[in-house]
């Protein structure tokens, strides 16, 4: 089964290469097909004998069609009775669209959700529970904690993404640093940033995120987690945000500001591509966009530095994408069939290879031969093994907001780090103690 | 009787869409503002009467967003109006390439706000045009939208640029409605350029000025797209405006009832402003006539 899948994938790749020469032919064919199809459709509709054959599954997801369509076509070929209707959502407004659809009863059969959204939806009782149906998958995949609430499982982890340290090799060289040894401790990181930083020439040492919600905590928490800090305790009922570990991380993060460009993620990525930022923590999407937008940029990817050579971990943010069904959906079984197909090893790898921004969620993926020849992507896989997912609390969005405004206030010097952490601790405490589970 | 019926038939397409897309949401959100309503869990809906409004009054972020919105309105509306007025006066003269200016000023109004926001985001970025100019004059580049002190100002400047053209055209229409005899009479009486402007042009365009100020104020109070595209309320909530605030509560926290209450509070603020403006500007006209 497995080898067949790989073969099919390869032939698809070949097909993709041949495509440009045949585009016109295909377009014409498509038009002819469309015509015939619509003719048949109308004929059936008019004669009143249009019979629904098989199942129509609606699947909402976030991938561009060139990434996901081959896999879905494959699925439809393997399951002749099922037709998948896909809709592509965007990370900017997909969330609202899902909320609107669920509240009006027009939810899809299968849906991709960002892991931080799942607890909230699960707590509101809109997701279909799959605890008894995922059995064997539980040992082969990671990231189950993100889709588990009170011991019940509400989804299947599909792909995972993390953040790693991108650095500009040319700027390293100009600053007299070794372009092949990226910083691996906090001290080295700040030293690299300091030597590269030269705002007069429009060159910045470090790219620091601020002024952006839903992003900042992914850039600050790696330092806190790496230092052993936490947001909530084990059973998610108490805040542990005001710990000394978190304070150290916050102080360190602030000390980076002196050698930083403080901007939003898209601006940082853009400036990095223009070769004006020495280091930044960013996501795997750059592996796809840098070669396209700035093919001459010499850059490297490393794991996020840890506090000291002797102690701490190379932590980072771990986000996964979860396949969920909805409680109100009628085609639960077929939706799960599609979900199981999507998380099959070769399909996951196929997706990750063409998307580049995510990694498969199955255990031991770093040993896959593909990653031997793609060291940059391998770094992401390695980073993922020490990455940490935010606590799966139903009111996470509010907790996240507290963390981000706290870091922001300290970075901009509005509040003192100690006070800000204590205040955040109080706020998070009241959020988790008021939560109705 | 017969006539009213046929009138109604002809008006019905508009009446139906007005009912569905305006009246219904308006009434529905008024009802919502007295409820606690989570769209994902309609079963937990609860009548809370005025507590949503009380929560808003107690939330410092609500006040922050309202203050930002007020700063935005008070900062942009007068500037836009004055700029538009003087440009209209300028392109109402016989100057070369008049049509080019007229259409040129109007161009920003036909570009989508999203597109304008994305373009300006590039301008304000660290390696963007604004910093290039700053560096040319020996200044140090900075991240304009990343600084709490400058972010809102940058968006305000953009808004003035994007909207003055439309109001210039409105002013121009107002100017052209002034009979030339009035100007002639003023000239014979020995009035200079500024005198004519002060005693003829300004009073004569007062009705259109009222219209411009009122609609521009309403539009500015509702600023959202620019914020959504450029800053999302950040940094440090310095660009958090009322509409963005209520959008955030409604769609990220599922507090639809609370968001509706905030929307109605904003409605009351806008209503007060518009009434005050109409009263003030109308009174002025009565005295001038």
pLDDT score for A11: 42
A121–B41 C-beta distance less than 8 A:
no
Is the pLDDT at B285 greater than 60? The verdict is no
Highest mean pLDDT: which of A210-219, B5-14, B257-266? B257-266
Query: CA-to-CA distance for A208 and A253, rounded, in angstroms?
Result: 9
pTM: 0.80
Percent of chain A with pLDDT over 90: 49
The pLDDT of residue B289 is 42
Q: Give the mean model confidence (pLDDT) for residues B94-114.
A: 87
**Interchain proximity B251–A95, CB inside 8 Å:** yes
pLDDT band at residue A244, thresholds of 50, 70 and 90? Answer: very high
- Identify the residue among A89, A93, A118, A264 best suited for mutation to test binding to B, counting B beta carbons within 10 A and taking the highest: A264
Tell me the nearest-neighbour CA distance from B148 into chain A, angstroms: 8
Residues 403-422 of A with CB under 8 A from B: 405, 408-409, 412, 414
Comparing CB atoms, the residue among A103, A267, A398 nearest residue B40 is A103
Interface contact A398-B125, CB threshold 8 A: no
Chain B residues at the A interface, defined by Cβ less than 8 Å, are: 38-42, 121, 125-127, 131, 135, 140-141, 143, 145-146, 148, 151, 231-237, 251-254
Kindly report, residue by residue over A68-116, the tens digit of the pLDDT.
999 999 999 999 889 999 999 988 778 888 988 988 888 999 999 998 8
Out of A329-333, B70-74, B257-261, pick the least confident: A329-333
Query: Does the distance separating the beta carbons of A125 and B41 come in below 8 Å?
Result: yes
Instruction: Summarize pLDDT for A251-291 with one digit per residue, the tens.
Output: 999 999 999 998 888 889 999 999 999 999 999 889 989 99
Question: In terms of pLDDT, which residue wins out, B286 or A164?
Answer: A164
| Chain B contacts in chain A segment 291-330 (CB below 8 A) | none
Q: Report pLDDT for B86.
A: 93
pLDDT reading at A8 higher than 50: no
SS3 A132: helix
Does the pLDDT of residue A4 top 50, yes or no? no
Given this model, what pLDDT does residue B257 score? Answer: 93
pLDDT above 50: residue B189: yes
Residue A13 pLDDT level (bands cut at 50, 70, 90)? very low
Q: Does residue A170 register a pLDDT over 60?
A: yes
Q: What was the pLDDT predicted at B253?
A: 81
Max Cα distance, chain A (Å) = 79
In tens, the pLDDT along A325-344 reads: 998 888 888 899 999 999 98
Q: What is the mean pLDDT of chain A?
A: 85
A72 min Cα distance to partner chain B (Å): 29
Using CA atoms, how far apart are residues B146 and B137, in angstroms rounded to an integer?
A: 21
| pLDDT at residue A29 in the model | 57
Asked whether residue A1 carries a pLDDT value surpassing 90, the answer given is no
- CB of A355 closer than 8 Å to CB of A65: no
Contact B126 A267 (CB under 8 A): yes
The beta-strand segments (E) located in A194-349 are 204-209, 260-263, 277-283, 299-302, 316-324
- Tell me whether residues A199 and B141 touch, CB distance under 8 A: yes
Q: Report CB contact under 8 Å: B40, A270.
A: no
How close A86 gets to chain B, by Cα (Å)? 23
When pLDDT is cut at 50, 70 and 90, the band that residue A40 belongs to is low
Give the count of Cβ contacts less than 8 A between chain A and B. Answer: 86
Q: Which residues in chain B have Cβ-Cβ distances shorter than 8 Å to A121? A: 40
Tokens of B142: 């900075």
Burial B243-265 (b: 16+ CB within 10 A, else e): bbbbbbbbbbbbbbbbbbbbbbb
Band of residue A48 on the pLDDT scale cut at 50, 70, 90: very low
Distance between CA atoms of A41 and A321, rounded to whole angstroms?
A: 37
Query: What was the pLDDT predicted at A37?
Result: 60
Q: Which residues of A touch B148 (CB under 8 A)?
A: 412
Cα angle A389-A258-A189, degrees, rounded to a multiple of 5: 50
Contact flag B235-A124 (C-beta cutoff 8 Å)? no
Binned at pLDDT 50, 70 and 90, residue A2 comes out as very low
Which one is predicted more confidently, A189 or B144? A189
User: Does residue A20 surpass a pLDDT of 70?
Assistant: no
Average pLDDT on B254-280 reads 92
Task: Please indicate whether, in this complex, the C-beta atoms of B40 and A121 are within 8 angstroms of each other.
Answer: yes
In whole numbers, what is the pLDDT of chain B averaged over residues? 89
- Looking up tokens 């150290």 gives A248
**Which residues in chain A touch residue B236, judged by CB atoms under 8 angstroms apart?**
211, 405, 408-409, 412, 414
Residue B162: band (very low, low, confident or very high) from pLDDT cuts 50, 70, 90: very high
Q: Spell out the residues 6+ positions from residue A9 whose beta carbon is closer than 8 angstroms to its own.
A: A70, A346, A350
User: Which of B65, B122, B126 is the best substitution to test chain A (most A C-beta atoms within 10 A)?
Assistant: B126
Interatomic CA distance for residues A370 and A13, integer angstroms: 15
Are A75 and A339 spatial neighbours (Cβ–Cβ below 8 Å)?
A: no
Average pLDDT estimate for A202-224: 87
- A248 in B contact zone (CB under 8 Å): no
Please report the pLDDT score of residue A199 as a whole number. Answer: 84
pLDDT at B209 over 70: yes
State whether residue B143 is helix, strand or coil.
Answer: coil
CB-count burial class (<10 Å; 0-12, 13-18, 19+) for A301: buried
Total number of residues shown for chain A: 437
Q: In angstroms, rounded to a whole number, what is the distance separating the alpha carbons of residues A302 and A305?
A: 8
Average pLDDT over residues A172-181: 92
pLDDT over 50 (residue A16): no
pLDDT band for A136, please (50, 70, 90 cuts). Answer: confident
Q: What is the pLDDT of residues B8-54, one digit of tens each?
A: 899 999 999 999 999 999 999 999 999 998 888 888 888 998 999 99
Instruction: State yes or no: ipTM above 0.85.
Output: no
CA B221 – CA B241 distance, rounded (Å) = 8
A196, A228, A328, B114, B231 from B119: Cα distances, Å: 29, 42, 43, 9, 13
Q: Is the pLDDT of residue A129 over 50?
A: yes
Q: Are A197 and B126 in contact (CB under 8 A)?
A: no
Residue B2's pLDDT band (cuts 50, 70, 90) = low
Whether B275 shows a pLDDT value over 50: the answer reads: yes
> What is the pLDDT at residue A185?
94
Give the per-residue pLDDT at A211: 66
What pLDDT score was predicted for residue A278?
94
**pLDDT score, position A365:** 80
3-state secondary structure at position B122: helix
Q: Kindly state the percentage of chain A with pLDDT values over 70.
A: 87
Which residue from B125, B235, B237 is facing A267, i.e. has the nearest CB?
B125
User: Does A121 touch chain B if contact means CB atoms closer than 8 Å?
Assistant: yes
């Amino acid at each position: 089964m497995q080898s067949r899948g790989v073969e099919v994938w390869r032939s698809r790749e070949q097909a993709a290469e041949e495509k440009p020469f045949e585009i016109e032919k295909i377009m014409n064919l498509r038009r002819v097909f469309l015509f015939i199809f619509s003719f048949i459709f109308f004929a059936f509709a008019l004669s009143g004998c249009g019979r629904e054959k098989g199942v129509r599954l609606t699947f909402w997801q976030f991938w561009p069609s060139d990434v996901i369509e081959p896999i879905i076509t494959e699925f439809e070929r393997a399951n002749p009775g099922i037709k998948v209707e896909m809709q592509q959502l965007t990370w900017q407004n997909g969330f609202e669209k899902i909320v609107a659809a669920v509240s009006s009863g027009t939810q899809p059969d299968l849906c991709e959700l960002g892991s931080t959204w799942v607890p909230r939806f699960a707590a509101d009782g809109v997701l279909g529970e799959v605890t008894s149906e995922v059995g064997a998958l539980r040992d082969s995949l990671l990231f189950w904690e993100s889709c588990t609430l009170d011991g019940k499982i509400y989804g299947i982890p599909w792909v995972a993404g993390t953040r790693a340290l991108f650095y500009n090799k040319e700027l390293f060289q100009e600053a007299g640093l070794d372009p092949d040894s990226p910083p691996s401790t906090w001290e080295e990181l700040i030293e690299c940033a300091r030597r590269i930083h030269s705002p007069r020439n429009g060159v910045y040492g470090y790219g620091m995120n601020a002024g952006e919600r839903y992003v900042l905590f992914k850039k600050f928490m790696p330092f806190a987690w790496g230092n052993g800090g936490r947001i909530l305790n084990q059973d998610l009922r108490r805040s542990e945000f005001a710990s000394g570990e978190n304070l150290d991380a916050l102080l360190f993060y602030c000390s980076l500001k002196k050698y930083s460009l403080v901007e939003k993620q898209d601006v940082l990525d853009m400036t990095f591509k223009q070769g004006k930022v020495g280091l930044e923590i960013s996501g795997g999407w750059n592996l796809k966009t840098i070669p396209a937008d700035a093919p001459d940029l010499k850059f490297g990817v490393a794991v996020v530095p840890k506090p000291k050579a002797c102690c701490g971990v190379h932590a980072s943010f771990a986000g996964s994408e979860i396949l969920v069904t909805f409680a109100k959906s009628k085609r639960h079984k077929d939706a799960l069939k599609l979900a199981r197909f999507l998380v099959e090893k070769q399909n996951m790898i196929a997706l990750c290879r063409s998307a580049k921004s995510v990694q498969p969620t199955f255990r031991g993926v770093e040993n896959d031969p593909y990653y031997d020849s793609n060291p940059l992507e391998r770094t992401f896989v390695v980073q993922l093994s020490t990455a940490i997912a935010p606590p799966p609390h139903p009111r996470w969005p509010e907790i996240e907001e507290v963390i981000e405004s706290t870091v922001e206030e300290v970075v901009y010097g509005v509040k003192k780090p100690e006070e800000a952490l204590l205040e955040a601790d109080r706020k998070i405490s009241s959020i988790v103690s008021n939560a109705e589970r | 009787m017969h006539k009213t019926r046929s009138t109604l038939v002809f008006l019905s397409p508009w009446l139906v869409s007005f009912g569905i897309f305006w009246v219904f949401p308006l009434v529905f959100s008024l009802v919502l503002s007295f409820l606690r309503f989570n769209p994902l869990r309609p079963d937990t809906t609860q009548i809370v009467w005025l507590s949503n409004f009380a929560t808003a009054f107690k939330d410092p972020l609500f006040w922050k967003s309202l203050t930002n919105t007020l700063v935005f309105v008070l900062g942009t509306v007068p500037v836009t109006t004055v700029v538009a007025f003087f440009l209209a006066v300028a392109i109402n003269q016989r100057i070369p390439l008049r049509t080019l200016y007229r259409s040129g000023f109007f161009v920003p109004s036909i570009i989508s706000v999203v597109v304008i926001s994305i373009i300006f985001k590039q301008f304000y970025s660290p390696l963007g045009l604004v910093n290039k100019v700053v560096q040319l004059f020996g200044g140090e580049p900075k991240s304009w939208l990343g600084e709490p002190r400058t972010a809102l100002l940058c968006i305000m400047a953009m808004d003035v640029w994007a909207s003055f053209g439309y109001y210039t055209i409105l002013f121009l229409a107002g100017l052209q409605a002034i009979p030339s005899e009035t100007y002639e009479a003023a000239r014979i009486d020995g009035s200079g350029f500024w005198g004519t402007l002060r005693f003829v042009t300004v009073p004569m365009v007062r009705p259109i000025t009222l219209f411009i100020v009122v609609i521009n104020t309403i539009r500015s109070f509702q600023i959202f797209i620019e914020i959504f595209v450029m800053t999302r309320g950040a940094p440090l909530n310095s660009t958090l405006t009322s509409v963005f605030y209520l959008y955030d509560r409604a769609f990220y926290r599922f507090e639809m009832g609370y968001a509706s209450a905030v929307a109605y509070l904003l409605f009351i603020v806008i209503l007060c402003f518009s009434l005050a403006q109409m009263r003030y500007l109308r009174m002025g006209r009565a005295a001038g006539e």
